Amino acid sequence: MPEFKIQHITRYTYEGLVRDSANQIILYPITDVAQEVLKHDLTITGNPVVDTHIDYYGNQVGSFTYLEKHSRLVINSEVLVVTHPKELPADDIAADEQWQMLASVQFIVPYIDFLKPEYFESLPELITTIESERLQGETPYQTALRFAGYIYKNIKYLPGVTTVESTLDEVWKLKAGVCQDFAHLFIQILRLLKIPARYVSGYICPNHNGMRGEGATHAWAEVFIPNYGWIGIDPTNNCVANETHVRLAVGRNFSDCSPVKGVYKGNSGHMLEVKVSVEYKGLPSSEPENLIPTNQFIQTIESEPFTTNSYRRYQEIMLMQQQQQQQ
Amino acid sequence: MLSRVAASFFWLSRYIERSDGILRMLKINYASSQDAVREFTWEPVIRIYSGVDDELTSKLHNDSRAVLSYMVSGRNNPNSITNMITLARENARSVQEHITRDLWQCLNEYYHCVKDPSINQRLMEDDPISVLDVLIKQIMLYYGTAEISMERGQGRSFMNIGKYLERSIQAVDILDVKFGSVNANPDLLTDTTYWKHLLQSLGGYELYLKTYRDGIEAQNVMELVILNDDFPRSVIYSANNIHRYYDRLKNESHLSNHRNIAFQIGKLQSFIQYSSAQSIRQVGLHQFLTQIRQDLFAIGTSMNEHYFANY
Amino acid sequence: MYKSAHFNDYNAIKGVWDEMYSENSTIRDHYQKVISYLSNESTDNLNKKEELARRLFMTQGITFTVYNSGEGIEKIFPFDIIPRIITAPEWKLVERGIKQRLTALNLFLKDVYHNQFIIKDGIVPIDVIYSCPHFLREMYKLDVPYDIYVHIAGIDLIRDEKGTFYVLEDNLRTPSGVSYMLENREITKRLFPDLLPQCNVRSVTEYPTILYKNLMALSPRRISNPTVVLLSPGIYNSAYFEHTTLARLMGVELVEGRDLVVNNHKVYMKTTTGLQQVDVIYRRVDDDFLDPLVFNPKSVLGVAGLMSAYRKGNVAIVNAIGNGVADDKAIYSYVPEMIKYYLNEEPILKNVPTYQLRNDDEREYTFANINTMVVKKTNESGGYGMLMGHAASEQEIDDYKKEILKEPRNFIAQPTISLSAAPCYLQGALQPRRIDLRPYALCGPDGIEIVPGGLTRVALKEGSLVVNSSQGGGSKDTWVLM
């Protein structure tokens, strides 16, 4: 029964004053048989009222606004979580039968949402790869582990080469990326194999075992195994995601789960820093690392100080959007 | 009232007022370019409305037709009449349900008129004055329509503040450029045609003749354009009107904001009011005008901050 | 024969229902009065009326702007001066049919975003719904006031060669064109003085009043004067004229996204005196652009946080978000089934037979008979992305087929329906041109009301079957008789 105290700080620093900020956070660990939240403290600049709701995928989502002019916004989430290891799939049903069971759920909610592969340019190449790597006669569980291993071996873990907006094409061509890209590619492969797979965002708490993904939010996938249910598989570390992985949210893709996102008005320049640190019960805390500057989770509506005319500054961008077709 | 709507009223007016100023300026300057007695240059006109731009000046070759075409229908000239009327109309369009149908139609017609390719063609090949007259008349029609049809509410106050702010800025700029040229060419100081044209382009020639009986003198021109209460294009007249229409916004404003801007306006008003031709000469005209320009801009910025920038 | 030459050479198109001429080439009763009125006018006079109409549209700014490399070109939606006339019994059928259809579509939306009975019972295949880009998971389990999703609908109707009405398309998101229904009538009053009362034409002027009443009724705050706003994409939108017209006729504020802000899950508009709470938003901005925080993050037309205010019930949005799943063209073919399923009634208005190209057999059939088919993209409107099989070249058909095979779910096919024709005044003579009809239905807490009239669109090009303004279409005043 590992117990973790996780501190997750998100800090936006703006070049000038910004206002009218609206934000959405998915920072509430999932509570179920494998995960308990003992305590959760959330502090946000300006102390806004955070309203929460449960989204379509069952995640708890918070939203808040901050209208006053400000030059920084800090979201500090401190959570005390206990995890319970989950037994691994027995995987003792014949492979054929399991594949059939998967085929029979493909038009059923929720699986239908986690089966649609996305189109990208190198799709044919990926399909060929899958065909040649795949071993006939293996169960869905074995197949999933095989491809987690394939990704682990063939994709380089290289922070900084990709961003949250990187496409599968870029990742496939670079053969490198971070946990998000690993999870993204993994999910795509599983879906092409007709195995339901969903994106998971959360934290990894490896207790100094040198696993990848520490210090920031982590991402992996959950795979649906017949007669078992969803099992977490982490292609970045080539392992089953069990009691050292703390889940925040699940969804079809990154954007269903992005931990923090926001929109504001003001000068466009901003810096975003994220830090995640984990303390283990009875063990010294991991060295607090410096905030890692990332380039994530934010969109800006550019608006310059009012100089000439209200119309000019928005003209270009608005012209495009305003011409949207009316029915 | 929506902040954006207030901003649109304000800018709609500024565009119209600026168009009017340019058109009158062009008309008089074109006329004077026909007096071939002395070397005529379009440079000050270009400078007033496009800033110091040597490249542009040399491109236009001091060719009257080219300048007119650039100033009226120049596509790349943000201050061309076509572009400004387009912007005025776009502002009007975005507040269409706040202005009268008559006023909207008037602007809409103006837009179609100025967009008509024949305007430029006639400027290039025909008598430019008659083209400019058509365009000037449209603006008079607009002002008349606004005057008789617009409700006496907030919207009109924002319109008038925009109008008089723009008008005073133009008067200041014109004086500054015209008197500035004298530094380089002292002969101009005694050149009565030079001052006559300045007065004509501001529509103040007749009033000048009635006010000053002993011929045209630069000092008197300056006095008229800055300090004459009865001259509708004088700086003081505009400042008084900014004050007047701003006062009407009192009940629709945050009290402290209103007090701040009212103070700014009042200060400017007294600064001009308690100046005389002599005191201006002492500070130096350029410095005096610079101060006024700064104050006017500051008022614009404050309006923006407290009334418009809210969106 | 008539006095004026412009009526002599009217040749009804063979095999097409003509609204004016009956089968034996006599003028139908309901067109008699108009035709006799018009025949007393000289060609010269009619030309003048046509010119007057054009000028009225232009000076009133009833125009839309087409932008080309930064240069705006002002266009008017062509108007044909001859009204399209609908008899009382015809209208009764249309009215009942639309009410029935809309009731079912509303129930469908409520169902699909809550219990999904219709999916569980296998009436509408789940994958058609789940693959629809307008099926918004954000709307799942979100309750909307009075369970009304479609407050304003524009249902496109056509008539086949026997005069039978068919529904061609449901527009349940941001249907446009109603201002043309209103303006066309105003112009007709000017063109043909006294003719409307003589012909017992029903009035359409109630439209804004009913809409306003419905909007007010949706206010979450129970106060006497809730703030209702019309949210427009802005002045560059082709329907901007309509937005201002409706805002003016209802006396509500016309706002853009940047005028609004969400604070603590309530929506406010920014005024010169500060923030003012907004209760009801009649939006003419697409779902995807409404809230950059939840939908398209690049949108500058929306309001960040709007969805959270909507979810909390602090603001009503009209039409509801997520309606696109009900007017998707792939869903369309299931509407008759929905009517039976939810209402236990037979559909009053027919659907045009529709082939789902995601089904292999239907796709093969379509490909084999493509010359008699119209193929459409399921999520486009306005006449974009269509293939008219009878008029397309081999190359166009081949290219289109390739396009279909990439994502067959996004395409449907329908047999080419021979739209009915109505007389138009063109080049000094009456000529038959193909038309459709879009009545506007308003759904409020007290039920569905349909203003007697609508927008008749006309394919002005000879031989054309496409009435959309983007494809050379125009419009006519639409008369519903007492």
What is the Cα–Cα distance from C168 to C333, expressed in whole angstroms? 10
Is the per-residue pLDDT at A325 higher than 70?
no
* B contact test, residue of A309, A314, A319 with most B CBs within 10 A: A309
Cα C275 to the center of its chain, rounded Å:
34
Quote the percentage of chain B above a pLDDT of 70.
98
Q: Is A292 on the interface with C (CB under 8 A)?
A: no
Q: What is the pLDDT of residues C397-416, one digit of tens each?
A: 999 999 999 889 899 999 98
What is the Cα–Cα distance from A218 to A197, expressed in whole angstroms? 17
Is the per-residue pLDDT at A222 higher than 90?
yes
Q: Is C285 exposed, middle or buried (0-12, 13-18, 19+ CB in 10 A)?
A: buried
Residues 80 to 99 of C: which have CB under 8 A from any A CB? Answer: none
Is the per-residue pLDDT at A315 higher than 60?
no
Identify whether residues B17 and B47 lie together within a single domain.
yes
Cα distances from C373 to residues C295, C353, C434, C458, in angstroms, run 35, 11, 17, 20
For position C382, which CATH number holds?
3.30.1490.270
DSSP string, C166-198: EEEEEE-SS---HHHHHHHHHHHHHHSTTHHHH
User: Nearest chain C Cα to B101, which residue?
Assistant: C60
Residue where a domain stops, chosen among B106, B126, B150: B150
Q: Is C272 on the interface with B (CB under 8 A)?
A: yes
Q: What is the pLDDT of residues B104-125, one digit of tens each?
A: 989 999 999 999 999 999 999 9
Which tokens is B140 given? 């008079």
Q: In chain C, how many domains are there?
A: 1
Is the per-residue pLDDT at A199 higher than 60?
yes
Is the per-residue pLDDT at B91 higher than 50?
yes
Identify whether residues B57 and B140 lie together within a single domain.
yes
Please give the pLDDT value at position C25: 79
Identify whether residues B145 and B174 lie together within a single domain.
no
- How would you classify residue C146: left for phi > 0, otherwise alpha for psi between -120 and 50, otherwise beta? left
Q: Which residues are paired to C275 by β-bridges?
A: C270
From C164, C230, C73, select the one nearest C420 (Cα to Cα): C164
User: Nearest chain A Cα to B8, which residue?
Assistant: A310
Residues 172 to 211 of C: which have CB under 8 A from any A CB? Answer: 173-176
Identify whether residues B130 and B237 lie together within a single domain.
no
Q: In what order do the strands lie in the sheet with A245-251?
A: A239-240, A229-234, A218-225, A197-204, A245-251
At residue A208 the predicted structure's pLDDT band, cuts being 50, 70 and 90, is low
At residue B226 the predicted structure's pLDDT band, cuts being 50, 70 and 90, is very high
Q: Is C59 on the interface with B (CB under 8 A)?
A: yes
| Non-local CB neighbours of B109 within 8 Å, separated by 6+ positions | B138, C59
Q: Is C297 on the interface with A (CB under 8 A)?
A: yes
Identify whether residues B173 and B309 lie together within a single domain.
yes
* B contact test, residue of C186, C246, C253, C272 with most B CBs within 10 A: C272
CA atoms within 13 A on the CB side of B169: 20
Please give the pLDDT value at position C71: 61
Long-range CB contacts (within 8 A, 24+) of B219-223: B219/B277, B219/B281, B220/B277, B221/B195, B222/B175, B222/B179, B222/B277, B222/B280, B222/B285, B223/B277
Size of interface A-C (CB pairs under 8 A): 122
Q: In chain B, how many domains are there?
A: 2
Please give the pLDDT value at position B73: 93
Q: Is A309 on the interface with B (CB under 8 A)?
A: yes
Q: What is the mean pLDDT of each run of 10 residues along chain C (482 residues)?
A: 62 92 88 90 91 85 66 79 97 98 98 96 94 95 96 97 95 94 95 94 97 97 94 90 93 94 96 93 96 92 96 97 95 96 97 94 94 89 81 91 90 92 92 96 97 96 84 92 95
- The answer to whether residue C64 is domain-embedded is no
* C contact test, residue of A20, A116, A322 with most C CBs within 10 A: A322
| Domain A95-255 CATH assignment equals 3.10.620.30 | yes
What mean pLDDT value characterizes chain C? 92
At residue B252 the predicted structure's pLDDT band, cuts being 50, 70 and 90, is confident
| Domain A3-83+258-302 CATH assignment equals 2.40.50.90 | no
What is the number of other CB atoms lying within 10 angstroms of the CB of residue C353? 11
- How would you classify residue C343: left for phi > 0, otherwise alpha for psi between -120 and 50, otherwise beta? alpha
- The answer to whether residue C108 is domain-embedded is no
User: Across A89-93, B60-64, B179-183, C280-284, which has the greatest mean pLDDT?
Assistant: C280-284
Please give the pLDDT value at position A59: 97
Identify whether residues B36 and B137 lie together within a single domain.
yes
Tell the residue number behind the tokens 């008022």, with chain if given: B299
| Residue range of the domain that includes B134 | 1-150
Cβ distance C61 to B254 less than 8 Å, yes or no, reads: no
Q: Is B8 on the interface with A (CB under 8 A)?
A: yes
Size of interface B-C (CB pairs under 8 A): 64
Please give the pLDDT value at position A245: 93
Q: What is the pLDDT of residues A41-84, one digit of tens each?
A: 999 999 999 999 999 999 999 999 999 989 999 999 999 999 99
Residue A319 or residue C224, greater confidence: C224
Query: How far is the alpha carbon of B159 from chain A, nearest alpha carbon, in Å?
Result: 14
What mean pLDDT value characterizes chain A? 86
Query: What subunits make at least 3 CB pairs under 8 angstroms with C?
Result: A, B
Q: Is A296 on the interface with C (CB under 8 A)?
A: no
Cβ distance C272 to B93 less than 8 Å, yes or no, reads: no
Please give the pLDDT value at position A303: 34
Residue where a domain stops, chosen among B96, B124, B150: B150
- The answer to whether residue C393 is domain-embedded is yes
User: Nearest chain A Cα to C407, which residue?
Assistant: A119
Please give the pLDDT value at position B185: 84
Measure CB to CB from residue C258 to each of B6, B253, B311 and give the nearest one. Answer: B311
From A46, A24, A28, select the one nearest A37 (Cα to Cα): A28
What was the ipTM of the complex prediction? 0.85
Q: Which chain B residues are Cβ-neighbours of A267 within 8 angstroms?
A: none
Residues of chain B with a CB closer than 8 angstroms to some CB in chain C: 1-4, 6, 86, 90, 93-94, 96-97, 101, 104-105, 108-109, 112, 115, 154, 249, 252-254, 307, 310-311
* A contact test, residue of C237, C254, C267, C269 with most A CBs within 10 A: C237
Q: Considering the entire predicted model, what is its pTM?
A: 0.89
Cβ distance B2 to C259 less than 8 Å, yes or no, reads: yes
| Residue range of the domain that includes C388 | 354-415
